[in-house]
Amino acid sequence: MRCPFCNEASNKVVDSRETREGLEIRRRRECDECGRRFTTRERLESTVPKVIKHDERREEWDRAKLEHSVQKACTKRPVSENAIQRLVDRVERQLSELGEAEVGTDRVGDAVLRELSELDVMAAARFASVFREFATAEDYDAFFATLNAQPGGRGRRGSGG
């Protein structure tokens, strides 16, 4: 790992900690040349299946794309970035555990909706409106009726700390 400040390859690890439910290791490093410190992160390579789009195209899993979608749904909602990262971790884990080489976007979206419904019902409604292409108020009514019919009701509201 090269120093981002002076490009020197020689450095030492001064601190190492597990983060994000043990799925990532954060390392503080100190450059042997310039003495400045920087952070690196290590995580297992994803075994998440390829995604089959609605038009039958296949795409590699893109965690950043999912993070962006969830962040958009959570805009101006009391949901922390850490909660969003944990949600994406859980969705990735669920998809990996399927053991399938490919998975449709419907399955990905449904997994996100389940997790978002537990995290913040309004963020879930925002996500659903794009994912399920809501066109009318009745589409929202049907979504909330489905949430109300689930055990536990409408999910938590904004407790995404």
Residues 58-113 pLDDT 10s: 999 999 999 999 999 999 999 999 999 999 999 999 998 888 899 999 999 999 99
Return d(Cα 69, Cα 113) in angstroms, integer: 11
CA angle 93, 28, 62 (to 5 degrees): 30
Query: Rounded distance, CA 87 to CA 155, Å?
Result: 14
Residue 120: phi, psi to the nearest 5? -160, 115
Q: Is the dihedral of CA 136, 139, 141, 143 positive or negative?
A: negative
Q: DSSP string of 27-81? A: EEEEETTT--EEEEEEEPPP-PPEEE-TTS-EE---HHHHHHHHHHHTTTSSB-H
Q: Up-side HSE of residue 57: CA atoms within 13 Å toward CB?
A: 5
Is the pTM higher than 0.85? The answer reads no
B/e letters for 22-53, b = 16+ CB within 10 Å, e = fewer, are: eeeeebebebeeeeeeeeeeeeeeeebbebbe
Confidence of residue 156 (pLDDT cuts 50, 70, 90): very low
More confident residue, 157 or 144: 144
The token pair at 90 is: 């859980």
- Report the amino acid identity of residue 41: R
- pLDDT value, residue 158: 44
Domain residue spans of the chain? 11-43, 50-149
Q: Judge whether residue 152 has pLDDT over 80.
A: no
pLDDT digits (tens, 9 = 90+) for 34-55: 999 999 988 776 678 899 998 9
